[in-house]
Amino acid sequence: MRKLSLNERLVIVSGRDGYFLVNVNDVYVGRALFIYGEYNGLERDFLTGLVRPGNVVVEVGANIGSHTVTLAKAAGPAGKVHAFEPQRACYSLLETQSALNGLENIHAHRCGVGRAKGRLSMPRMNYGDIGNFGALELTPDKTPGSEDIDVVTLDDMLAGSACALIKIDVEGMEEDVIRGAVGVINKTSPLLYVENDRPEKSKTLIETLLALKYRLWWHMPPLFNPNNFFGIKDNVYDKVVSCNMFCCRADHDVAKGLKEIKSADDPHPVARPVAPHFT
């Protein structure tokens, strides 16, 4: 059995990488797992090519753990995945995926990650309505119903320990995460996989990475994978892509065929994607 409905919105899905408890009201991660048995399968395939058994991996902005489970299985029992997610509801599902799949190498942290230790505010989200649950941004401004969230730095959390890959998807705070990880980056030179879907923030983000002596390549996989796990041919995401940068301090086989970013003044390849509409 591929799907088990618990109520009108919560479903357990037996997907490509294991079992996932999802909220089908989430138009990106939750709904993709429900429809296709995977989320962003082409990005998933790329990431698995970056991880070896025994690696320590950091995922900042883990959401409900769709990629966390994949990374944890690639790292294996001798490896470790530090997964950071500030949203209470998403974090609860992230922990659930770890339990459902018996993955003891996932270390989940319910907090934000930034350039300095502190506190920010998380706006309120109604998870009973259809929406993009991954789009919430941490902000210094409090709003009605918002929640205070602790913010840490990767330098503090990792304390210079070895790290093979840092994946960052934090709704515009990518540069802050990197600036709070300069110590571990300079010490261990991890591979970086960084979302860059906001043209207005792209220039300074690229400048920061280039100053750290990284080479950068665009990686923009479509959200729809024609070879998805459930074999569904209908593309509900149309032409929406995931806009990321693969970053490495040397050549890497996975960068072959990707467009290298030579300058922060290069034009941004795409505008921010618009969420699909579901009925």
Phi-psi region of 248 (alpha: psi -120 to 50; beta: other; left: phi over 0): beta
Residue 124 lies in a domain: yes
Amino acid identity, position 214: Y
Phi-psi region of 169 (alpha: psi -120 to 50; beta: other; left: phi over 0): beta
Query: Is 149 strand, coil or helix?
Result: strand
- C-beta separation of 196 from 168 below 8 A: no
Residue 273 lies in a domain: no
Residue 240 lies in a domain: yes
Residue 267 lies in a domain: no
Residue 127 lies in a domain: yes
Residue 278 lies in a domain: no
Count of domains forming the chain: 1
Q: Give the pLDDT of the chain (279 residues) as one tens digit per residue.
A: 799 999 999 999 999 999 999 999 999 999 999 999 999 999 999 999 999 999 999 999 999 999 999 999 999 999 999 999 999 999 999 999 999 999 999 999 999 999 999 999 999 888 888 888 888 889 998 888 899 999 999 999 998 788 999 999 999 999 999 999 999 999 999 999 999 999 999 999 999 999 999 999 999 999 999 999 999 999 999 999 999 999 999 888 999 999 999 999 988 997 554 445 444
Output b/e per residue, 96-134; b: 16+ Cβ within 10 A. Answer: bbbebbebebbebbbbbbbbeeeebbbbebebeebbbbb
Pick from 19, 15, 29, 11: which is nearest to 101 by CA?
A: 19
C-alpha 226/C-alpha 127 separation (Å) is 29
Residue 268 lies in a domain: no
Q: Tokens 């100053």 identify what position?
A: 211
Residues sharing a CB contact under 8 Å with residue 131, sequence separation 6 or more, in sequence order: 25, 26, 27, 125, 275
Q: ∠ at Cα 38 (67, 276), nearest 5°?
A: 100
* pTM, full prediction: 0.94
CATH code, domain with 127: 3.40.50.150
**Hey, how many other C-beta atoms are within 10 angstroms of the C-beta on 236?**
16
**What is the extent of the structural domain holding 213?**
3-261
Phi-psi region of 31 (alpha: psi -120 to 50; beta: other; left: phi over 0): alpha
- C-beta separation of 185 from 162 below 8 A: no
